[in-house]
Amino acid sequence: MADTTMDKLVSLCKRRGFIFQSSEIYGGLSGAWDYGPLGVQLKNNIRDFWWKEMTQMHDNIVGLDASILMHPRVWEASGHVSNFTDPMVDCKQCKSRFRSDQIDLEAACPNCGTKGSFTEPRNFNLMFSTHIGPVHDDGSVVYLRPETAQGIYVDFKNVVQSSRVKVPFGIAQVGKSFRNEITTKNFIFRSCEFEQMEMQYFCKPGSDEQWFSFWRDQRMAFYHKMGIKPESLRWHRHGEDELAFYAKDAYDIQFHFHPAIAPVTVAVLPLVKKDGIGEFAENLEHELREDFATFYDQSGAIGRRYRRMDEIGTPYCVTVDYQTLEDKTVTLRFRDSMEQVRVPIVDLVSRIRTETRQYKRA
């Protein structure tokens, strides 16, 4: 993605209250981001939709919420202590640190320009470590989990013994993970603290390829259901150099992103504030709150308010005008087509519900 596009995206996210830099007033903490009022709503909507699709819609997937801190032997057994590393070099002159596979070790330091200033590459573990209890010795070291999957593996036996599941079945989990990333310049695409949604599916040896293919189809269908256009999505198969140390095969779904699950479903906008129209619109917005995530906006020209709603991904705008006071109808405007239709207020909730269902299916 071009830098200008990324800069525009970061600034839009900040201006509209989606994502802020962590600790910004103290100069910011790199690799950490805060979700603002609209961002947290969007994030929660995606999480809830994923959780429902996984646990409620499949009768052989159960949920789990494991702790972030685990016994250090978990990470020895998983191979993370010895293998979860990036090869790093330091510049002896300016002390900058680089991934040795991402720079030319024969060339000058990209930061200070000194030649021949790099140390020998050494492995740098990506796990954050801390200590449990008051004594900081080797025996008290614990790690902040670098992925949620290990909690699922370690609790596997407890889940099997306490629920009705039998192989093949899955365990789903949502939670924070932490990685001590050196290159954190790429906005929320590479951060030190992030939230993961993971489902581990357990199957009999020999049936793995069949299930892998089943779940590939399911995952793609999930994004289509979320409202992302199929032509915006594509598969990327991991090459040998990209595969995680424990993986046999892996695919990413890549996409041009698009606010598909809107933090605001319906915006209610009075054409003008005067003559009771503002008041009427505000009451209508309060009524719609029962059914949808709503937003009321009466400031500025109507065209600007529509664009403001388009920018944060609001799929429906309802406009109240003089005609509304006479015949109890409103204008319903669609984000994607910008089409406007006149709808009786009594039919508004069911109309929006129908439109949303069709949008998901399309």
CB of 115 to Zn ion, least distance (A): 10
Nearer to Zn ion (CB atom), residue 107 or residue 325? 107
Q: Is there binding between residue 12 and Zn ion (CB under 5 A)?
A: no
Residue 244 — left, alpha, or beta (φ > 0 → left; ψ -120 to 50 → alpha)?
A: beta
Nearer to Zn ion (CB atom), residue 112 or residue 272? 112
Nearer to Zn ion (CB atom), residue 113 or residue 344? 113
Instruction: Specify the length of the chain in residues.
Output: 362
What is the amino acid identity at position 199?
A: M
Q: Is there binding between residue 30 and Zn ion (CB under 5 A)?
A: no
Q: Which helix (H) or strand (E) holds 318?
A: strand 316-320
Look at residue 27 and give its three-state secondary structure. coil
Task: Using DSSP bridges, classify how beta strands 340-344 and 329-334 pair: parallel, antiparallel or unpaired.
Answer: antiparallel
Size of the site for Zn ion (CB under 5 A): 6
Nearer to Zn ion (CB atom), residue 109 or residue 330? 109
Among 93, 180, 184, 298, binds Zn ion (CB under 5 A): 93
Nearer to Zn ion (CB atom), residue 33 or residue 98? 98
DSSP-derived secondary structure letter, 134? S
Among 69, 77, 94, 105, binds Zn ion (CB under 5 A): 94
Q: Residue 130 CB: number of other CB atoms within 10 A?
A: 11
Nearer to Zn ion (CB atom), residue 89 or residue 267? 89
DSSP 189-249: GS-SEEEEEEEEEE--TT-HHHHHHHHHHHHHHHHHHTT--GGGEEEEEPPTTTS-TT-S-
Q: Is there binding between residue 109 and Zn ion (CB under 5 A)?
A: yes
Q: Is there binding between residue 103 and Zn ion (CB under 5 A)?
A: no
Q: Environment class of residue 204 by beta-carbon count within 10 Å: exposed (0-12), middle (13-18) or buried (19+)?
A: exposed
CB of 112 to Zn ion, least distance (A): 3
Token pair listed for 334: 């669609």
Helix residue ranges, H only, the chain: 3-15, 37-51, 72-77, 80-83, 149-154, 156-162, 208-225, 277-288, 302-311, 322-327, 348-361
Q: Residue 213 CB: number of other CB atoms within 10 A?
A: 10
Token pair listed for 333: 């405007």
CB of 89 to Zn ion, least distance (A): 10
* 112-151 footprint of Zn ion as x/- string (CB under 5 A): x---------------------------------------
What is the amino acid identity at position 279?
A: E
Q: Environment class of residue 296 by beta-carbon count within 10 Å: exposed (0-12), middle (13-18) or buried (19+)?
A: middle
CB of 192 to Zn ion, least distance (A): 23
CB of 87 to Zn ion, least distance (A): 18
Nearer to Zn ion (CB atom), residue 100 or residue 324? 100
CB of 102 to Zn ion, least distance (A): 15
Nearer to Zn ion (CB atom), residue 103 or residue 203? 103
CB of 304 to Zn ion, least distance (A): 48
Q: Is there binding between residue 167 and Zn ion (CB under 5 A)?
A: no
CB of 31 to Zn ion, least distance (A): 21
Q: How far apart are the first and last CA of the chain?
A: 28
Stretch that binds Zn ion, among 8-16, 105-113, 188-196, 347-355 (CB under 5 A): 105-113
CB of 110 to Zn ion, least distance (A): 8
Among 38, 64, 91, 281, binds Zn ion (CB under 5 A): 91
Q: How far apart are CA 174 and CA 155, in angstroms?
A: 15
Q: Is there binding between residue 312 and Zn ion (CB under 5 A)?
A: no
Given the rule CB under 5 A, which residues bind Zn ion? 91, 93-94, 109, 111-112
